[in-house]
Amino acid sequence: MHLVLVVEDDAGIRRVLRTLLDAEGYRVAEASTGARALIEAQGHRPDLAIVDLGLPDGDGQDVVRGIRRLSSIPILVLSARAMERDKVAALDAGADDYVTKPFSAGELLARVRAALRRHAQPVDAAPLLHFGTTTVDLATRTATRDQAQLHLTPLEFRVLECLARAGGMIVTQDHLIREVWGPARLGDTRGLRSYVKMLRQKLEPDPRQPRYLLTEAGVGYRLRISSRPTP
C-alpha cells in the first residue's frame, strides 16, 4: 500500500483527502504545518506528497523544496492559488503537478495514480504511445495510424518523448524548450506552440478539441495516453 503525505492546514480538507485516499487503498500521513511536513517526510518516507501552498508557518514552496532535497517522490501541489506565476514557481521548486482548489475528486485521484505510475517506471523507458488508432514507438522512432505509416519529424518525436517521460504530469514550456531545442531557445514559446499544433494535427482525432496533448494555460503541456489502441 502506498503511503501519501497530506500537507494541509485546513482540517476539513485533510479529512476529505484522507477519506478519498483511504477509499482507494492508500495509507495516509498528515501534517498541518511546513515544519511538521518535513519531519513526516523524513520519518515516514512517503511514496507521494500532496502539498498546500498556504501554510501557517511559511510558504508551501519551501516544503516542496525541502521534500525534494530528501527524496525524488512525486509531489502534487493542491492550492487555491490559480495564478500562472504561482503554478510555474511551484513546478520550478520541484513539484510534479499542480491542482487548483476547488478540485475534482476523480481528477485528483487520477493525478495521484499517474504520478505513482511514473515514479515506478524507469526514467529512460520508451513505451508505445497510443492516441486512439495512432501508435507511436519512441524506441524505433516510428508511428502508424490505422496501421499505415505516419511521418513525424525528429523534433516532434523529441517533444513527445519529453512529455511521455512526465507520465501524465505537467511539463512547463521552458522545460520542453530546454530539453528539445536547448537553452539558447528559451523563451521561444511561439515555436513550441507551432510544433504542438503540428503534433495535434497528426495525432488528435479532432485537433481543435485535443484529447491527448493537453494545454495547461500559461504553464505548459500534459500528455494523456492510453495503454492500448482505441478501435
| CATH number of the domain bearing residue 114 | 3.40.50.2300
Burial class (CB in 10 A: 0-12, 13-18, 19+), 147: exposed
Please indicate, yes or no, whether the overall pTM of this predicted structure exceeds 0.85. Answer: no
Nearest Cα to Cα of residue 95 among 123, 66, 120? 66
Domain range for 166? 128-223
Q: Residues 117-127: what's their mean pLDDT?
A: 61
Percent of the chain exceeding pLDDT 70 equals: 94
Hunting for cell 487548483 — which residue is that?
A: 100
Q: Does the residue 230 lie in any domain?
A: no
Question: Are 9 and 86 within one domain?
Answer: yes
| Per-residue pLDDT at 123 | 46
| Per-residue pLDDT at 125 | 47
Residue 135 has pLDDT above 70, yes or no: yes
Nearest Cα to Cα of residue 231 among 129, 128, 132, 131? 132
Question: Are 32 and 80 within one domain?
Answer: yes
Residue 48 has pLDDT above 90, yes or no: yes
- The beta strands (E) that lie in 132-188 are given as 134-137, 142-145, 148-149, 171-172
Q: Residues 52-73: what's their mean pLDDT?
A: 91
Question: Are 113 and 158 within one domain?
Answer: no
Question: Are 92 and 197 within one domain?
Answer: no
Residue 138 has pLDDT above 60, yes or no: yes
Residue 218 has pLDDT above 50, yes or no: yes
Q: Which of 120, 145, 172 is a domain's end point? A: 120
Number of compact structural domains in the chain: 2
Residue 228 has pLDDT above 70, yes or no: no
Question: Are 135 and 186 within one domain?
Answer: yes
| Per-residue pLDDT at 229 | 52
Q: Residues 184-190: what's their mean pLDDT?
A: 81
Question: Are 71 and 54 within one domain?
Answer: yes
Q: Which of 68, 85, 120 is a domain's end point? A: 120
Mean per-residue pLDDT over the chain, rounded: 87
| Per-residue pLDDT at 119 | 74
| Per-residue pLDDT at 14 | 96
Contacts of 35 (CB under 8 A, 6+ apart): 57
Residue 124 has pLDDT above 70, yes or no: no
Q: Residues 31-51: what's their mean pLDDT?
A: 94
